[in-house]
Amino acid sequence: MTTEDLLDPKVVSSAAEGPLAPLVSVEDYTRMYEASVQDPHRFWAKEGKRIDWITPFTKVKNTSFEPGNIDIRWFEDGTLNVSANCIDRHLEARGDQTAIIWEPDSPEDPALHITYRNLHRSVCRMANVLKGLGVGKGDRVVIYLPMIPEAAYAMLACARIGAIHSIVFAGFSPDALGARINGCDAKVVITADYAPRGGRKTPLKSNTDTALLHCKDDVQCLVVKRTGGQTTWTDRDHDYNALSADASVDCSPEEMSAEDPLFILYTSGSTGQPKGVVHTSGGYLVYAAMTHEVTFDYRDGDVFWCTADVGWVTGHSYIVYGPLANGATTIMFEGVPTYPDAGRFWQVCAKHKVNQFYTAPTAIRALMGAGKEWVEKHDLSDLRLLGSVGEPINPEAWNWYNEVVGKGKCPIVDTFWQTETGGHMLTPLPSTKLKPGAAQQPFFGVRPVVLEPTSGEVIEGNGVEGVLCMGDSWPGQMRTVWGDHARFEKTYFSDYKGYYFSGDGCRRDEDGDYWITGRVDDVINVSGHRMGTAEVESALVAHAKVAESAVVGYPHDVKGQGIYAYVTLMNGEEPSDALRKELETWVRTEIGPIAKPDLIQWAPGLPKTRSGKIMRRILRKIAEDDFGSLGDTSTLADPSVVDDLIENRMNRG
Ligand code: WTA
């Protein structure tokens, strides 16, 4: 067999020939997967060519998971520009094809169809505006925008001039925004007057003004007009609409090294404040493009919709970079699934003839609760594939998604991955025999390993359970924590030496298929959003009346996990419903609405060991209303606190 035989899928058919044979068949997968892990250099040397290089790479993989020397480089001597790959290289063949369909919050407002040619002009204008503000190669730009086309322009404009973007989800509070602006020492923050979402408006500009009170004086603010609503204007503000109208529509792309950072994205971990995950240019783009094409079976002319927000990694890889690198038509949706009614997703699918639809289990559960009549009102006959991401999907939601939305004819790809991984790690492909609730099999080049949690020994064979690690690097892997390489090593490579530790538990069933069992650390997953319990705790204890707090997750029907906070008040403070409300509002303003505790329990004391360590295992059990199996409490300094906590538990049944 030649190299090409080994690495290429065999069956390629086109939509015109009738029902599509999957891009990668079961046989292709087995053969290509083997080849990808046997000889990653050869496999990725070929895949690396899916993007355009200014100077082609000669080195493919140079990676080390060795303690003390965590060093990850892919295609390191190649140079490229990510925005040229996402735009310029498509202009000749598909300049008039729609690159982005923008669907606004209100269905009454018209959608925008932005062609690759127009995308090019808008991105060049934005790039020139940023240059005019003094932004250059390596500078950081924070993006705090609604889901509007300018968010994509801003990302690609940064990529074009070699600046590093860091998007902050528009639902985050001024404090969270300020911490991130300072964390990466940004030169400019790009925001909008207001963010319409679900019929409500978040005052982004005024949030940014508040955030900037705690930032360096020379941070500049570029303001996009979205609603035209009133804002206050300061010396550091610049009017994007005025500046871009005068800006040139030409801006030549900067030549970047494959390992130059493309973006920083802050994400929650089990300890401390969120960390800045760094992704670089070459490997990330190759991986985002390949996973987008292969996992979603994307073909030329398809309309692809990922419902995420660009504030999360899913939006980076599967709204912007992956689809645009592939010359796709990608949808950017400003709204929410239930506004103006629970049929909105399906109305948008029908309106734009969506072929691949990618969303989170929490949305599926919420829409399932609203009833199937909302789905049946709309023509979903163009749907060919469904995807799920962000948390394990329960079989009930999977079956509903399959039957009611997919009419039993669309494969569901349950994609397991993380901010840190850049793209899919475990996922069935459309040709895979599916198991509801399982992420099933590794993507090409990914080497999952199951370890015994305490001893760290590798567990071989099937029908086993343990913690999920990766035995080798893949091109989309994060390279470092911004400004703190030691934290990178400590977080991901120190518990299990020689492996990347995902933080998730998993089971490998009798057939060798993988099932994610959830986080094994103090990270919880609320509506598909990652939240560090430590972050919520530190927000709570920052309140003057709170002495101590412990936060855990508990099962929640729609959100997957809810936030359960145990709060010990300062001496002399009395618990009350008013104080409970006050603390909820406090956390909203400290972090953002997604961090608001669902349940707050007043705890006169927390269960601690004699050395003062909080026994979270016990708190989790009580929050789960499962206190019959608390295990050994004899090591507690004061076992009686447990009885009080059980007696006054907030989640009953
Ligand atoms: C969880 C989102 C089960 C997991 C792309 C992971 C999943 C965390 C799945 C990363 C899935 C994501 N099945 N669990 N298909 N996808 N997770 O960084 O716990 O926001 O560690 O990235 O979400 O969340 P993050």
Residue 49 sits in a domain of what CATH number? Answer: 3.40.50.12780
Confidence of residue 19 (pLDDT cuts 50, 70, 90): low
Confidence of residue 633 (pLDDT cuts 50, 70, 90): confident
Is 185 part of a structural domain of the chain?
Answer: yes
Question: Is ligand 1 within 6 A of the CB of residue 414?
Answer: yes
Predicted pLDDT of residue 1: 40
Confidence of residue 238 (pLDDT cuts 50, 70, 90): very high
What backbone phi and psi angles, to 5 degrees, belong to 199?
80, -5
| Residue located nearest, by CA, to atom 5 of ligand 1 | 418
Confidence of residue 631 (pLDDT cuts 50, 70, 90): confident
Residue 6 predicted with pLDDT over 70 = no
**Same-domain status, 532 and 432:** no
Share of the chain above pLDDT 90, in %: 89
Is 336 part of a structural domain of the chain?
Answer: yes
**Same-domain status, 576 and 497:** no
**Same-domain status, 290 and 230:** yes
HEC assignment per residue over 153-178: HHHHHHHHHCCEEEECCCCCCHHHHH
For the segment 39-54, the average pLDDT, to the nearest whole number, is 98
Predicted pLDDT of residue 2: 47
CA distance 502 to 470: 8
Tell how far the Cα of 390 is from the centroid of ligand 1, in angstroms. 4
Is 59 part of a structural domain of the chain?
Answer: yes
Predicted pLDDT of residue 11: 47
Predicted pLDDT of residue 613: 81
Predicted pLDDT of residue 609: 82
Is 82 part of a structural domain of the chain?
Answer: yes
Predicted pLDDT of residue 263: 98
For the segment 395-401, the average pLDDT, to the nearest whole number, is 95
Nearest Cα residue to 325 out of 58, 72, 53, 76: 53
Question: Is ligand 1 within 6 A of the CB of residue 525?
Answer: yes
Within 10 A of 593 (CB to CB), how many other CB atoms are there? 13
For the segment 153-157, the average pLDDT, to the nearest whole number, is 99
Is 514 part of a structural domain of the chain?
Answer: no
- 3-class secondary-structure state, position 255: coil
Share of the chain above pLDDT 70, in %: 97
**Same-domain status, 566 and 631:** yes
Is 11 part of a structural domain of the chain?
Answer: no
Tell how far the Cα of 502 is from the centroid of ligand 1, in angstroms. 10
Is 522 part of a structural domain of the chain?
Answer: no
Written as six digits, the tokens of 253 are 């792309």
- How remote is the C-alpha of 438 from its chain's centroid? 19
Beta bridge partners of 381: none
**Same-domain status, 261 and 367:** yes
> Which residue in this structure is represented by tokens 């990725």?
44
**Same-domain status, 471 and 561:** no
Question: Is ligand 1 within 6 A of the CB of residue 115?
Answer: no
Predicted pLDDT of residue 5: 55
Question: Is ligand 1 within 6 A of the CB of residue 560?
Answer: no
Residue 355 predicted with pLDDT over 70 = yes
Query: Domain of 560: which CATH number?
Result: 3.30.300.30
Confidence of residue 4 (pLDDT cuts 50, 70, 90): low
Straight-line distance from the first to the last Cα atom of the chain, in angstroms, rounded to the nearest whole number: 60
Beta bridge partners of 515: 507
For the segment 48-52, the average pLDDT, to the nearest whole number, is 98
Predicted pLDDT of residue 621: 93
Written as six digits, the tokens of 457 are 């020994």
Predicted pLDDT of residue 14: 43
Among 393, 500, 525, 594, which residue has the most ligand 1 atoms within 8 Å of its CB, making it the best to mutate?
525
Question: Is ligand 1 within 6 A of the CB of residue 275?
Answer: no
For the segment 537-544, the average pLDDT, to the nearest whole number, is 94
Q: Of residues 626 and 166, which shows the higher confidence score?
A: 166
Tell how far the Cα of 389 is from the centroid of ligand 1, in angstroms. 7
Beta bridge partners of 377: none
**Same-domain status, 491 and 553:** no
The H-or-E segment that residue 209 falls in is helix 204-212
Mean pLDDT of the chain: 94
Q: Mean pLDDT lowest for which of 370-374, 413-417, 530-534, 599-603?
A: 530-534
Among 470, 504, 524, 535, which residue has the most ligand 1 atoms within 8 Å of its CB, making it the best to mutate?
504
The interface pTM score, or ipTM, of the predicted complex is 1.00
Residue 12 predicted with pLDDT over 60 = no
**Is 417 annotated for ligand binding?**
yes
Is 653 part of a structural domain of the chain?
Answer: no
Atom of ligand 1 lying closest to residue 530 CA:
20
Those residues whose C-beta lies under 8 Å from the C-beta of residue 5, and which sit 6 or more positions away, are none
Tell me how many domains the chain contains.
2
Residue 115 predicted with pLDDT over 50 = yes
Residue 74 predicted with pLDDT over 70 = yes
Those residues whose C-beta lies under 8 Å from the C-beta of residue 632, and which sit 6 or more positions away, are none
Atom of ligand 1 lying closest to residue 523 CA:
19
Domain of residue 560: give its range.
527-648
**Is 314 annotated for ligand binding?**
yes
**Is 543 annotated for ligand binding?**
yes
* Helix spans in 470-623 (H): 485-493, 533-541, 577-590, 616-623
Predicted pLDDT of residue 10: 54
**Same-domain status, 539 and 489:** no
**Same-domain status, 42 and 98:** yes
Written as six digits, the tokens of 625 are 């209303």
**Same-domain status, 72 and 158:** yes
Tell how far the Cα of 284 is from the centroid of ligand 1, in angstroms. 18
**Is 515 annotated for ligand binding?**
no
Question: Is ligand 1 within 6 A of the CB of residue 277?
Answer: no
CA distance 29 to 179: 44
Question: Is ligand 1 within 6 A of the CB of residue 527?
Answer: no
Those residues whose C-beta lies under 8 Å from the C-beta of residue 252, and which sit 6 or more positions away, are none
Per-residue pLDDT tens over the stretch 564-619: 999 999 999 999 999 999 999 999 999 999 999 999 999 999 998 887 788 888 99
Question: Is ligand 1 within 6 A of the CB of residue 182?
Answer: no
**Same-domain status, 129 and 171:** yes
278 contacts 264 by C-beta, under 8 angstroms: yes
Written as six digits, the tokens of 418 are 């993380």
